[in-house]
């Protein structure tokens, strides 16, 4: 797999790991004692460089894509089940963090539900659990669009299905779709990060306005990133709600000028620190490149052997 995959996957996993020790801490706490480096222990009492459910599900998806050469929903769900039940794709064979909606979907699947009928469909099923793991799907679909001339409809249908395995409400599917357009623009286009991300947003809104109607209004705050960039920090929420997570990640990307700065800004927002830093880190890794992720952080990551084995 090429350097874009390595940059994005490491970017996500390292962001996750920087956020893990302070997950669920308040923004006020982070103002008093800001995170300035990769640390350990804290919320889950895990050693430095430990990544959580975000990265485990990314690696499970990556392993499936590598082995199958395509998106195989059942195979991905089988791997999610192995992670949830047996600690596969974790640093220490132990699952210490899992979202309620994700857990419920995997249990439903284990009880016989079809992969695409496992995720919750209600308004209350819009956590960030599919957005946090969608990056490998985005990268795979980007390559397929290039090689096979997949239409946006075909590409987005696959991305929406991958969300639906755990989060089937249209708002969650759309967050994954918007992320795809952002990743695609960052890879394909030239210019500063704000310019590239704005192209992604423009393409996403154009697509969803034609295909999904009013639900896109949930994301209206990010229509103009040049305006959104200037929203004060106190008006950026860092919760596990999928809209808040996507907004927070974008805000961090727009208001920083390096991978390191983007991750620290995401983590110091507090609350759902690991996922917001992971979502931020995937895009930041691709934009700034693997070589611009701090060497110290790369060296501190647990189970690099597992990560490297899936990036060959």
Instruction: Give the Å distances, CA to CA, from 83 to 49, 166, 277, 298, 310.
Output: 19, 14, 21, 23, 16
Residue pair 138/183 in contact by the 8 Å Cβ criterion:
yes
Residue pair 80/74 in contact by the 8 Å Cβ criterion:
no
Is 52 annotated as ligand-binding?
yes
Is 50 annotated as ligand-binding?
no
Place of tokens 């300035």: 36
Dist. CA 61–CA 49, nearest whole Å: 21
Is 54 annotated as ligand-binding?
yes
Please name every residue paired with 167 in a beta bridge, in sequence order, or none if there are none.
120
Is 2 annotated as ligand-binding?
no
Binding-site positions: 52-54, 272, 274-275
Binding-site positions for Mg(2+): 52-54, 272, 274-275
């Amino acid at each position: 797999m090429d350097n874009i995959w390595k940059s994005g996957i490491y970017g996500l996993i390292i962001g996750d790991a920087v956020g893990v020790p302070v997950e669920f801490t308040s923004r006020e706490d982070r103002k008093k004692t800001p995170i300035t480096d990769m640390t350990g222990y804290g919320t889950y009492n895990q050693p430095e460089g430990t990544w959580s459910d975000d990265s485990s599900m990314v690696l499970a998806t990556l392993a499936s894509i590598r082995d199958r050469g395509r998106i195989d929903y059942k195979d991905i769900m089988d791997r999610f089940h192995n992670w949830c039940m047996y600690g596969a794709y974790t640093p220490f064979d132990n699952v210490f963090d899992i979202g309620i909606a994700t857990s419920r979907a995997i249990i439903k699947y284990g009880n016989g539900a079809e992969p695409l009928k496992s995720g919750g469909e209600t308004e209350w099923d819009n956590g960030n659990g599919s957005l946090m793991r969608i990056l490998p799907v985005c990268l795979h679909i980007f390559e397929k669009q290039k090689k096979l001339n997949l239409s946006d409809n075909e590409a987005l249908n696959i991305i929406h299905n991958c969300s639906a395995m755990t989060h089937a409400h249209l708002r969650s599917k759309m967050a994954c779709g918007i992320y795809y357009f952002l990743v695609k623009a960052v890879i394909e286009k030239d210019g500063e990060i704000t310019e590239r991300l704005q192209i992604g947003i423009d393409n996403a809104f154009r697509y969803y306005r034609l295909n999904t109607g009013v639900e896109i209004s949930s994301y209206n705050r990010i229509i103009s990133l040049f305006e959104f960039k200037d929203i004060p920090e106190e008006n950026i929420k860092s919760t596990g709600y999928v809209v808040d997570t996507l907004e927070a990640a974008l805000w961090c990307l727009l208001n920083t000028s390096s991978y390191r700065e983007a991750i620290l800004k995401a983590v110091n927002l507090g609350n759902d620190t690991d996922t917001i830093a992971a979502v931020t880190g995937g895009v930041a890794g691709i934009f700034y490149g693997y070589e611009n992720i701090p060497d110290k952080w790369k060296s501190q990551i647990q189970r690099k052997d597992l990560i490297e084995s899936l990036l060959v």
